[in-house]
Structure 1
Amino acid sequence: MSGTAPHLEVGLDEDAQLTCVGVRIGGWERLSTPQRIRARVESVEGMRRFGGGAVGLVFASGEVLVFVLRADPAEAAVALLDVLRRHEPGRRGTRVAVTGGSAGPRSGAEAVAESIRMLRGGNRRDHEAAFTFLLSDLLHWHVRDASPMPRFQRVRGEAFGPDRWVWPADAPPASARRVGRAPVRPRRGLPLTRARDHAAAMAELRRILRVRPGPEPLFALGECHLRLGERRAAVETWRYLLRRYPLTLAAYPLMDLEELDDVARAYLSDGLRIVRARPALAAQPERFEHDLLLALATRAYRRGRQRAGDRLVNEAAGVYPAGAAPLRVLAVEAVRRGDREGARRLLDAALARAPDRRSRGGRGRSSPLGKSEET
Structure 2
Amino acid sequence: MREEIGLVRLADLPEWEREHLLSKDAEPLGVPAWVAPTKPLSDMRLALITTAGLHFADDAAFEFADATYRAISNGEDAGDLMLSHSSSNFDRTGFQQDVNVVFPLDRFKELIARQVIGSLASVHYSFMGGGLLPQVYENTVRALATLLKQDKVDAVFILPVCPNCTRAASAIAYYLESEGILTTGVSLVREISEAMQPPRMVWTSFPFGYPLGKAGDVDFQHQVIKQGLSLLEADTGPVLEDFPLDVPHIASEDAPACSITLARPSEDATTWKARLANELLLFKPWYDLSRRRRGRTMVGISDTSIDEIMDRLAVWLDDRDQALPDFKWFKYATEDAKAFYGEALIAQPGDYPPGHTERQLWNETVLGEALKEYHHYFASDPKLALMARAIASRAAVEKSTGSFAIGHDNEIVPQMNNKG
TM-score, with length taken from structure 2? 0.26
Identify the structure with bigger relative contact order (alpha carbons < 8 Å, sequence gap 6+).
Answer: 2
Bigger radius of gyration among the two: 1
TM-score, with length taken from structure 1? 0.28
**Structure richer in helix, relative to its length:** 1
